[in-house]
Structure 1
Amino acid sequence: MRKIKAAIIGAGFIGKAHIEAIRRLGYVDIVAVGQNGQDKADEYARVLKIPKAYGNVEDLLKDPEIEVIHNCTPNHLHFEINKQALLHGKHLLSEKPLTLRASEAKELYELAAGRSLVTGINFNYRQFPMVQHLKSMVKDQDLGELHTIRGSYLQDWLLYNTDYNWRMEPEYGGETRAISDIGSHLFDLVQYVTGLRIAEVFADISIVIPQRYKAVGSRESFQSGTDGDMELVNMTTEDYCSVLVKFENGARGVLTVSQVSAGKKNALELNLDGSQASGSWKQEEPFKLLMGYRDKPGETVLRDPKQLKKEALPFMHYPGGHEEGWTDSLKNMMHHYYQAIVNGEPLSDSVATFREGYQVMTINDAILRSVKSGTWEKISIG
């Protein structure tokens, strides 16, 4: 079997996670890494055992051996690199958010639609077996008609005023931070599992820590501390946001994101209330689903191939009790993405499309409009 040749642009935290997940497939070779500057690219290539190193994106995209691009760069670089990858005829898997602005995301999905390329966005939380099971329960009406949808994505890695990251700077991370960084995952997951589109939003945000100490020099994600020279800088992006939402079927909900919630490391949670039952899934306990009923005791459904719906089976690879977690969701993501390339088949709906990435960006924009107007804002896709 011929191996697909791929390249990683940006080998930081998430880039390394892509590399590990890709290598687990066995039928994809990572042949190149791209970084900002040749010295840095050479070092990453040496450490990660990747044969080619490129200090600029243009040279990497011109390499005829490379078939697939993984864009794992900071947010502000997503649009231009994604666009150039498509123009160079490369299959493309982008990190979220797709771009900084909805207009850019629309341009990308329209550009991708006109080419015979496999494109997707790494919304990997779709890839958990229990998420697939819950999605199938919704489709089969096991919960009845959905009327209330509650979700949250809470972290604590920015709890202290000495915590700092490039995502806080609008020119790199965008006008929003918690909303685009983790809210994009939450918005995508809610719509994917329920099959419902968010139609209107009413939002409130808070900059909990208005000033932070920034280390002089760069710092990778999820690092903190007070060593070295520090400077106090003003914050303009939010630490917290809660959004009242109206769905297209009339259901209501509330979605909350925070990066300053002590003890919450990567606490993505989804709660669906239907006319017959409720279902709850937590990413930090991904192997189980909590079901609630009015007239009988609640149930805990565990990740077991013998108990789950058939739609969830392709996302499980080990027997019950042999738990699969976050890194396995990334492996599933890569598998379902690359199967479309290897077999020339349609992309699995478990892989978010560029149009869906654009739609998430329109939600982000509506949230910003709501914060400024203090009113409900409708979400429209041009």
Structure 2
Amino acid sequence: MRTIKVGILGTGFSASSHIEALRRIPNIEIVGVSSRELKKAEQFAAHHHIPKAYADATELINDPDIEVIHNCTTNHLHFQFNKEILLAGKHLMTEKPLAINSEQSEELVELAKKSNVISGICFNYRFYPLVAQMREDIRTKKHGKANLVYGGYVQDWCSNVTDYSWRMDKELNGESRAIADIGSHWCDTVEHILGKRIVSVCADLGTVHKVRYKSKDGNTTFSQAKEDTEMVEVPIDTEDYGSVLVRFEDNIQGVFTVSQVSVGRKNNFHFDLVTDQATLAWDQEKPNELWIGRRDKANEVLVKDPSLLSENASKMAHFPGGHQEGWPDGLKNLFLNFYEAVSKNDTQAGDFATIADGHHIMQIIEAILESNRTRSWVDIKEEGLR
């Protein structure tokens, strides 16, 4: 397989995570990184032993040596750079959300249709072995028809009034925070397992800290201000938490809760999927266990073991049973899947979320916001999807 040269837009948590995962994949060479500040790009590049650093993302995008670009910038820059990347004819892997609104994301769908490049969005939870196993079991109706699903995604990194990051600024993050940031993962993963789209929602969102305090120096995501730091008040108008009733195609019902203020919960993404004959339960913080509940016989726990999984699921389990795999491995699996499509230049290959999938999730987010405003059920728009 030929070597594929990659550029990274951004120098934050996502960029570092992408680099770590990419370096576990054969024949991938990271050759450039960009930041708004050249000094920051140079320091980041030196730390990760990347040869090129840019203060101008457009210069990186147009570098003829770079074939694939990972967009790990802040949310308000996603649309601008994703559009530039597609127009430049470069393969694209972007962090979510795809754009700030569905008008922008629909434009990207049309660009992706016209381009001859591989483009995907970083919904990485699809790529855990036991998530893939659940998808296979639902597809084959191993446990009968799927009827309902419930769960949530809860964290605590915003639980203190002094917790602040750019994600709380609508100009940088968009209209939604908890739903767009983590609720989007819940929706994409469950849709992927069921093979069914969400068609309508009914939401109730809320904000615990309507005023937060940030340091004048600026807090970063997942960090807290020091006690002696000078603080300034910031009004907050995005949601800290929310619960959403959902209806999928085929009349499957569901509900999920998201929270970024649940003290003690770090990254608790979980769901129960109820079928005619069993309940399948999975928790991202215990990713190597799939609980299978039954009515008339003992419940069981399927532990991740390549020899016990379906062919597709076993490909995502790189170590023998008892050797734990988790979040970084799911990201690696996503990139393995994406770069297989890139190496074949096959726009139809892969199980990764497409630009059209990212647009659909953007439409779900907007429907949830509308439902919360109108206190009513809202159908998901289908424009740009078919």
Q: Could you tell me which amino acid in structure 2 is paired with residue 138 of structure 1?
A: I
Shift of 1:345: 3.5
Residue of structure 1 equivalent to 2:95: 95
Residues 219, 225 of structure 2: 8 Å contact kept: no
2-side partners of 1:218 and 1:57: how far apart? Answer: 23
Residues 164, 213 of structure 2: 8 Å contact kept: yes
**Residue 66 (str. 1) matches residue 69 (str. 2):** no
SS for the counterpart of 2:105 is helix
Shift of 1:346: 4.7
The answer for unaligned runs of 5 or more in structure 1 is: none
Q: Could you tell me which amino acid in structure 2 is paired with residue 13 of structure 1?
A: F
After superposition, the Cα gap between the structure-2 partners of 1:349 and 1:61, relative to the gap in structure 1 and judged at 3 Å, is closer
Residue of structure 1 equivalent to 2:380: 379
2-side partners of 1:76 and 1:300: how far apart? Answer: 42
Moved more, 102-111 or 138-147: 138-147
Q: In angstroms, what is the RMSD of aligned CA positions?
A: 1.1
**Residue 78 (str. 1) matches residue 78 (str. 2):** yes
Moved more, 140-149 or 284-293: 140-149
1-side partners of 2:117 and 2:248: how far apart? Answer: 32
> Which runs of structure 2 are paired with 1:222-371 in the superposition (5 Å)?
222-226=222-226, 227-346=228-347, 348-371=349-372
The answer for unaligned runs of 5 or more in structure 2 is: none
1-side partners of 2:366 and 2:269: how far apart? Answer: 22
1-side partners of 2:347 and 2:112: how far apart? Answer: 14
Q: Could you tell me which amino acid in structure 2 is paired with residue 260 of structure 1?
A: V
> Which runs of structure 2 are paired with 1:127-166 in the superposition (5 Å)?
127-166=127-166
> Which runs of structure 2 are paired with 1:199-214 in the superposition (5 Å)?
199-214=199-214
Q: Percent identity?
A: 44
Residues 306, 315 of structure 2: 8 Å contact kept: no
Q: Could you tell me which amino acid in structure 2 is paired with residue 245 of structure 1?
A: V
2-side partners of 1:142 and 1:213: how far apart? Answer: 51
SS for the counterpart of 1:104 is helix
TM-score by length of 2: 0.97
Shift of 1:317: 0.8
SS for the counterpart of 1:5 is strand
SS for the counterpart of 2:47 is helix
TM-score by length of 1: 0.98
SS for the counterpart of 2:328 is helix
SS for the counterpart of 1:161 is coil
Residues 336, 347 of structure 1: 8 Å contact kept: no
SS for the counterpart of 1:256 is strand
Q: Deviations over 1:290-311 (max 9, x none)?
A: 0011111111000011211222
SS for the counterpart of 1:245 is strand
**Residue 41 (str. 1) matches residue 20 (str. 2):** no
Residues 281, 288 of structure 1: 8 Å contact kept: yes
1-side partners of 2:177 and 2:232: how far apart? Answer: 20
Shift of 1:255: 1.1
2-side partners of 1:229 and 1:116: how far apart? Answer: 51
Residues 337, 350 of structure 2: 8 Å contact kept: no
Shift of 1:349: 4.1
After superposition, the Cα gap between the structure-2 partners of 1:347 and 1:322, relative to the gap in structure 1 and judged at 3 Å, is farther
Q: Deviations over 1:80-133 (max 9, x none)?
A: 000001111110000011111011111101101111101000100000000000
Residues 142, 277 of structure 1: 8 Å contact kept: no
**Residue 171 (str. 1) matches residue 171 (str. 2):** yes
Shift of 1:350: 2.5
